[in-house]
Amino acid sequence: MNLLLQKLKEKYDRHLKEKDLSRKEKHNDRLNIDETHICAAFDLQAVMQCPSDVSREIGLQLKCDNCVCTSENENKGNVTWSDIKILKFTKEDTFLFYYKTSYSQNEFNKVNMRNKRKKMSAIRDIAMTKAYSQRLVLSERKKTDLRSLIEHNLIPHYYADFYNNIM
């Protein structure tokens, strides 16, 4: 039991250290904002696109606890998404992204997203086309279900405007 308590304390101490380093990093990023640099900080745990069933969400968390990126980093190791602390993208390297798994890490790890099995077009040669020419229409049954979920507070009230606008 003592070993478990010790591991828990080490994990908590690491968390506190990462939290402090994260706040310092965020502060430094804000100091570097100008017309060529953007600082974007997100609390991804607070972002929820659509309402979800709590019991289903808990099950999903259990299944996805060790979610792994299908791409390999430059050291031929898998990337565990839940361990990533910092992501960096650059215009010059359109098929690369860089990441750190700790705020105390000095160098970024690199992941190449280019498919090596087939020839891919350069980003500047890719023409974007609209996926839909007009707004998609929800079926009456789906609209009724959504209204019912809003009515019974199964969809939180702060999402109601979003769903009312798409109906």
Q: What does the pLDDT look like over 105-139, one tens digit per residue?
A: 999 988 887 777 777 777 777 788 889 998 888 99
pLDDT given for residue 44 in this prediction: 64
pLDDT given for residue 49 in this prediction: 57
pLDDT tier for residue 33 given thresholds of 50, 70 and 90: confident
The residue that leads in pLDDT, 94 or 110, is 110
The pTM of the full predicted model, rounded to 2 decimals, is 0.50
What are the structure tokens assigned to 165, written together?
Answer: 């606008």
Does residue 67 register a pLDDT over 60? no
Does residue 54 register a pLDDT over 50? no
pLDDT given for residue 141 in this prediction: 94
For the chain, list the strands marked E by DSSP.
68-72, 78-80, 86-88, 96-100, 109-112
pLDDT tier for residue 59 given thresholds of 50, 70 and 90: very low
Mean pLDDT of the chain: 78
- H or E element that contains 3: helix 2-31
Q: In a 10 Å sphere around its CB, with 0-12 CB exposed, 13-18 middle and 19+ buried, how is residue 119 labelled?
A: exposed
What are the structure tokens assigned to 28, written together?
Answer: 């430094």
Does residue 26 register a pLDDT over 60? yes
Q: Enumerate the domain spans of the chain.
A: 1-41, 53-120, 135-167
pLDDT given for residue 83 in this prediction: 81
pLDDT tier for residue 144 given thresholds of 50, 70 and 90: very high
- H or E element that contains 58: helix 54-63
What are the structure tokens assigned to 142, written together?
Answer: 């789906």
